[in-house]
Amino acid sequence: MSQQRILVVDDEVSVAELFSMMLEMEGYRVRVVHDVQSAKTALEEEPVDLMFVDIMMPEASGLELCRYVRGEPNLENIPIVIVSARSQLEEVHEGLEAGADRYLLKPVSKRELIEAVQEALAD
């Protein structure tokens, strides 16, 4: 089974843990962090194959993290999936412009989460 590494970045602990559990059940290695600075540190410590990022977080937004990843030569090719409750069309567009490959709306089902992983890692 796959041992691909996924970073989940969400300040809502219960959401992040739920995503982690669903992904680990499918055989992925998951690391959870709850803010943008911790995500940057995690990316320095260990490369990942995919990131799930929430937009609304304290101190810095997930959009800032997307832009950071896209601007770093050693990180720029990591697929990014935004998972957010922000559902306005302009917000979705802003997330994709910031560098996300896909935008999912909360709440997310396990099927949607796993499909997003499979699509992102297939590219």
| 106-123 confidence digits (pLDDT tens) | 999 999 999 999 999 997
| pTM, to two decimals | 0.95
Compute the distance between CA of residue 12 and CA of residue 30 in angstroms, rounded to an integer.
Answer: 16
Which tokens sit at 39? 């995500």
| 18-30 confidence digits (pLDDT tens) | 999 999 999 999 9
List the domain boundaries for the chain. 5-122
Q: Is the pLDDT of residue 52 over 80?
A: yes
Written as one letter, the residue type at 44 is: E
Residue 91 neighbours by CB distance under 10 Å: 16
**With respect to CATH, is domain 5-122 assigned 2.60.120.200?**
no
| Residue listed under structure tokens 């809502």 | 12
